[in-house]
């Protein structure tokens, strides 16, 4: 059990009596890269929120690093989310009166474990890796969508989370910016961070080790893409499977 970072056991989620997720069970191993796919409205975002402490499932349980999320006091859960989990969304939602760099370092100050000097050093190393160091002092309104999303990844990674959760992180990007962002996520994964993305983009999901297909709030099937196969053959495998899923 120790190698599982996340264990989701028979969770469900209802909004005012309407069932959106049902009987969802899966595990994520440490170091895995998993994508969740499915049509719009099938429950991908709801699933992500329900397993990452952003929202409570209506039934079942979620264990993160062996801890039952539902049993954690609010403060503990907040700390866990700040220090052990990173989040990226379709839009970065940066504070508009702060520079890119100040937005990125903000969660590290919230965490309060390092000196300003150390935090800035780590942020600049991250920005360099993501290719956005040159826009560190820019206003968030003055950079491209791709740069902003790479900055959002820096912000998500600043506290060195064990897992990175993404909800359609390339949903607002064109295909070249999507490729850039996915190349970066692939590197982060290679460096040991576990990744769980929900997406309706097959090119994005093709980067994962494993893809879970969600339909009407249930897991329909999963597809193992493996690590060593050629990119082209992974994409082909995934496309054939998605066709079978009726995507």
Site for ligand ADP in 98-117 (CB under 6 A): none
What does 41 interact with, of Mg ion, ligand ADP, none (CB < 5 to 8 A by kind)? ligand ADP
Q: Which stretch binds ligand ADP (CB under 6 A): 33-41, 58-66, 114-122, 221-229?
A: 33-41
Provide, rounded to whole angstroms, the least separation between the CB of residue 170 and Mg ion: 13
Provide, rounded to whole angstroms, the least separation between the CB of residue 200 and Mg ion: 8
130/208 with CB nearer ligand ADP: 208
138/200 with CB nearer Mg ion: 200
Confirm or reject binding of residue 15 to ligand ADP (CB under 6 A).
yes
Confirm or reject binding of residue 45 to Mg ion (CB under 5 A).
yes
Confirm or reject binding of residue 226 to ligand ADP (CB under 6 A).
no
Tell the burial category of 13 from Cβ atoms under 10 Å away from its Cβ (0-12, 13-18, 19+): buried
Q: Which stretch binds ligand ADP (CB under 6 A): 34-42, 143-151, 170-178, 227-235?
A: 34-42
Q: Under rule CB under 6 A, how many of the chain's residues touch ligand ADP? A: 10
18/115 with CB nearer ligand ADP: 18
Confirm or reject binding of residue 150 to ligand ADP (CB under 6 A).
no
Do 107 and 155 meet the contact criterion of CB atoms below 8 Å apart?
Answer: yes
Among 8, 37, 46, 108, binds ligand ADP (CB under 6 A): 46
Confirm or reject binding of residue 205 to ligand ADP (CB under 6 A).
no
3-state DSSP of the chain: CCCEEEEEEEEEEEECCEEEEEEEEEEEECCCEEEEECCCCCCHHHHHHHHCCCCCCCEEEEEECCEEHHHCCHHHHHHHHHHHEEEECCCCCCCCCCEHHHHHHHHHHHHCCCCHHHHHHHHHHHHHHCCCHHHCCCEHHHCCHHHHHHHHHHHHHCCCCCEEEEECCCCCCCHHHHHHHHHHHHHHHHCCCEEEEECCCHHHHCCCCEEEEEECCEEEEEEECCCCCCHHHHHHHHHHHHHHHCC
The residues binding Mg ion (CB under 5 A) are: 44-45
The residues binding ligand ADP (CB under 6 A) are: 15, 20, 38, 40-46
């Amino acid at each position: 059990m120790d190698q599982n970072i996340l264990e989701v056991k028979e969770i469900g989620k209802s909004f005012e009596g309407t069932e959106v997720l049902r009987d969802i069970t899966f595990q994520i191993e440490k170091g895995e890269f998993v994508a969740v796919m499915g049509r719009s409205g099938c429950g991908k975002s709801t699933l992500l929120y329900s397993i990452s402490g952003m929202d409570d499932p209506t039934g079942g349980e979620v264990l993160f690093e062996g801890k039952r999320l539902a049993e954690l006091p609010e403060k503990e859960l907040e700390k866990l989310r700040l220090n052990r989990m990173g989040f990226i969304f379709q839009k970065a939602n940066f504070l508009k009166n702060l520079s890119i760099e100040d937005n990125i370092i903000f969660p590290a100050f919230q965490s309060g474990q390092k000196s300003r000097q150390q935090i800035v050093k780590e942020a600049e190393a991250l920005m360099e890796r993501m290719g956005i160091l040159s826009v560190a002092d820019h206003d968030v309104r003055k950079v491209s969508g791709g740069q902003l999303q790479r900055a959002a990844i820096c912000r998500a990674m600043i506290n060195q989370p064990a897992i990175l959760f993404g909800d359609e992180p390339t949903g607002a990007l064109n295909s070249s910016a999507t490729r850039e962002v996915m190349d970066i996520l692939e590197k982060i994964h290679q460096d040991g961070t576990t990744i769980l993305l929900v997406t309706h983009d097959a090119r994005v999901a093709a980067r994962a080790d494993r893809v879970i297909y969600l339909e009407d709030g249930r897991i329909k099937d999963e597809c193992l893409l493996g690590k060593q196969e050629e990119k082209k053959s992974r994409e082909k495998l995934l496309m054939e499977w998605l066709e079978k899923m009726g995507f």
